[in-house]
Structure 1
Amino acid sequence: MEVTCSKSDIKERLYQQFARIGKCLSSDKRLEIMDILSNGPKSVDSLATQTGMSVANVSRHLQILLEAKLVKFHKKGTFVIYNISDSSVTQFLSSLWNICEDRLADIKLIKDELEVQYEGVRNMSKNDLMLKMKQDSLVLIDLRPVEEYETSHIPGAISVPLEQLEVFLQTLNKDVELAAYCRGPFCSIASQAVNYIQEQGFRAYRIEEGVHEWNAYGSPVSAKATI
């Protein structure tokens, strides 16, 4: 039987395919887009607003991600809505963040800068949060956009996007204890929000874990089906 290709040729072509994903992830902006999409579907316009890029640039990055099958899209009326392709990509991103935090000292320095900026902000552990929610002694708020909350959220949390926080606090008595979370340990919005809540005279805590971390610990999340 005639052999048409060598084992080394097969291996070379195999690693070339693996490298397609590596090249796709070599852009910080594409990583940011994937991180945002891992929290819920977004239109190109929404991604442009959240990343500070032009619609044209976002579209180019999305095309590269599509070719690598890391994202998918569907049409909703006249809008094109993008989403992460499946849960395995989200899990891969979480693993990537963990490896980077473990191996790159600069990431710890950046997190330390955030803590210094909001040094009065107190964190609450997952176990303490679960206990207080079981006792119904704390209000947990999800600071992400409403569509992300509707896609998936920590059970018992209520949706209070950051831009609605001021009005929401006006409906509460000052003896209410609050905790807030956003998109996980690298998101500064939770620290910013808790700092503001404390300045308004409330007791408040930052929850470092986001929905993905919560799910990774084996705790269920509330979600509705998405396309």
Structure 2
Amino acid sequence: VGERHLKEAQTLIDTYLESRDHLEPLPREELLARAREGLVTVIDVRPPDEYAAGHVPGAINLPLQELEKRLDELPRDREVVAYCRGPHCVLAFDAVERLREHGFRARRLQDGFPEWRSEGLATE
């Protein structure tokens, strides 16, 4: 019974997120390469306490609820990559949609900070 319900829940999550995945998720390897070349601005849309506990190097903490008030802090000549708590975290999806509505080139990181950390990648 539990397995069936878990599968149903996973199907619902996948269906919801797939409908929003026209946002072209960016794999972490590609983010690392683009960041090294200075081609992207990375934003962490998690709350400040989560950001303070660890984040992707160079990421700007821009919680979703502050995003539209702080758009002037983001460069318009570079792609903006948003991330949050994981591949199913809607904060990054919402951030990318809002950024695009305001004319930014934006994508979301395919994974989130927990996956970044578990891969042993550098953190601040």
Q: Place the TM-score, normalised by the shorter chain, in its bin.
A: 0.7 to 0.9
Unaligned runs of 5+ in 1: 1-99, 223-227
Per-residue deviation at 1:156?
1.5
SS state of the match for residue 22, structure 2? Answer: coil
Per-residue deviation at 1:173?
4.4
Equivalents in 2 of 1:189, 1:165: separation in Å?
Answer: 11
**Matched residue count:** 120
Q: Which residue identity does 2:15 align to in structure 1?
A: D
1:162 paired residue number: 64
Which structure is larger by alpha-carbon Rg, 1 or 2? 1
Q: Does 1:121 align with 2:23?
A: yes
Q: Does 1:194 align with 2:96?
A: yes
Unaligned runs of 5+ in 2: none
Per-residue deviation at 1:179?
0.2
Equivalents in 2 of 1:125, 1:108: separation in Å?
Answer: 22
Equivalents in 2 of 1:121, 1:165: separation in Å?
Answer: 17
What's the TM-score once normalised by structure 2's chain length? 0.86
Q: Does 1:135 align with 2:37?
A: yes
**Per-residue CA distance 1:146-172 (angstroms, 9 max, x = gap):** 111011111121110111111221344
Relative contact order, higher structure (CA 8 A, sep 6+): 2
SS state of the match for residue 120, structure 1? Answer: helix
RMSD: 1.9
Per-residue deviation at 1:197?
0.6
1:110 paired residue number: 13
Per-residue deviation at 1:220?
2.3
Asked whether the 8 Å contact 1:120–1:195 carries over to 2, the reply is no
Misfit runs of 4+, over 4 Å: none
Q: Which residue identity does 2:38 align to in structure 1?
A: D
Q: Which residue identity does 1:151 align to in structure 2?
A: A
Asked whether the 8 Å contact 1:122–1:204 carries over to 2, the reply is no
